[in-house]
Amino acid sequence: MTLSELTLDREGLAAAIACEDAAFEAALREEAYSVKVATVGPEVYLRGLIEISNICVKDCLYCGIRRDIRCQRYELSEEEVLATARIAAHRRFGSVVIQGGERTDAAFIRKITRLLKEIKSIDTEDDPPLGITLSLGEQSREVYEEWFDAGAHRYLLRIESSNPDLYRKIHPADHSYDRRLQALYDLKEIGYQAGTGAMIGMPFQTAEDMADDLLFYKEFDAPMVGMGPYNPHPETPLTLSGAPYPSAERRFALGLKMIALLRLLMPDINIAAATALEVLDPRGREKGILAGANVIMPNITPEEQMVKYNLYDRKTLLRDCPSSVDPSKRDTHICRNCVFPFCSLGDGLSGRKIVIGYGRWGDSKHFRRK
């Protein structure tokens, strides 16, 4: 297959996804990066990731923090979250993401509301107040409205698969595909920049399924997408089922390819270079940027708790050092002991004259145009 033969309909996308020709994949990534620069610019935007809790009421069959798995649970205190958000502000990240296992209890909901208001009051000197993305699963419309009014303006809720049959294969019977869809449309109607995404290269998934995922993002008119390669957790039902899935090398290639195809399909949206890429390749996020992504989420969760947010195998090996983001303020001791330090990523991007948008919210141009 050649780039000139690519079409962005279902058949063409599926053919591109199935194609394993290295020359085609390289040309696709190069074209997608050119489109990204032309439409949203060369900048990469930062979202400081705060993993607030690994307590979850859901029991998704692929997830390392699912309700019924044995793991050491934790929940950051409000003081810990605010201290971490201040690090993001000090390092001029521009935005934070509060991510955690899904919880719907009143105490947790009120805690998030308080935190949103407090984070908005953090002094950012000459920069705008920190932008806030939430990724806390399915909630009632009333809760989404409460959090929006308190200061959240972006929300990431991954569909995981746009194929209802495949969705049911990777979730227990009490998880509703229709409920997930309704939550996404609730977010959109409230006024959030409602983002979504899916796993790439998981068991039972076909090239046509992945093509449909891309078309789902377009039909939903998503202003931002966070998708990444499937990385198995050794103790989940999906892994233990023995269902086959592509090799790590192939899943990484598919992850880059899906970023590139989505950039061609939706040129002006925000696309994240997922942490899952870095599990498969030590330069995974850098390569994701060069394939068309424009958002990175450095993990700034306190390390003692970060290691417990074990969504998938090897995820806890990743360390993003918040002290290394500003090259003039590096803590060389910390950076030397990081396994995959963010400073190395920053150096890689700078070497290619890719600008990091310090102090910027980096909202989706697609959303602003709407």
> Residue 119 sits in a domain of what CATH number?
3.20.20.70
pLDDT above 50 for 212: yes
Gap between the Cα atoms of 360 and 311, Å rounded:
29
pLDDT above 50 for 209: yes
At 205, list the tokens. Answer: 């998934």
What's the predicted TM-score (pTM) here?
0.92
pLDDT per residue as tens digits for the range 277-329:
999 998 899 999 999 999 999 899 988 888 888 887 666 555 565 443 343 44
What was the pLDDT predicted at 317? 53
Q: Are 152 and 195 in contact (CB under 8 A)?
A: no
pLDDT per residue as tens digits for the range 234-289:
999 999 999 999 999 999 999 999 999 999 999 999 999 999 999 999 889 999 99
pLDDT above 70 for 10: yes
- The pLDDT-based confidence of 167 (bands split at 50, 70, 90) is very high
Gap between the Cα atoms of 363 and 224, Å rounded:
9
φ/ψ bin of 60: left (φ > 0), alpha (ψ from -120 to 50), beta (otherwise): beta
Our measurement of the distance from residue 72's CA atom to the centroid of its chain's CA atoms, rounded to an integer in Å, reads 23
For the chain, percent of residues with pLDDT exceeding 70: 89
Considering just the CA atoms, what is the radius of gyration of the chain in Å? Answer: 19
For residue 100, the cross-strand partners are 53
Q: Are 62 and 13 in contact (CB under 8 A)?
A: no
What was the pLDDT predicted at 347? 59
For the chain, percent of residues with pLDDT exceeding 90: 80
Gap between the Cα atoms of 266 and 223, Å rounded:
9
Name the more confident of 228 and 348.
228
Average pLDDT, rounded, for the chain: 90
pLDDT above 80 for 332: no
pLDDT above 80 for 348: no
Gap between the Cα atoms of 68 and 259, Å rounded:
32
What was the pLDDT predicted at 318? 57
Domain range spanning residue 192? 3-369
Gap between the Cα atoms of 228 and 278, Å rounded:
10
pLDDT per residue as tens digits for the range 146-161:
999 999 999 999 999 9
**CB under 8 Å to 340, separation ≥6 — which residues?**
278, 282, 317, 318, 319, 320
pLDDT per residue as tens digits for the range 53-87:
999 999 999 999 999 999 999 999 999 999 999 99
* CB neighbours of residue 107 within 10 Å: 7
Count: domains in the chain: 1
pLDDT above 90 for 345: no
pLDDT above 60 for 122: yes
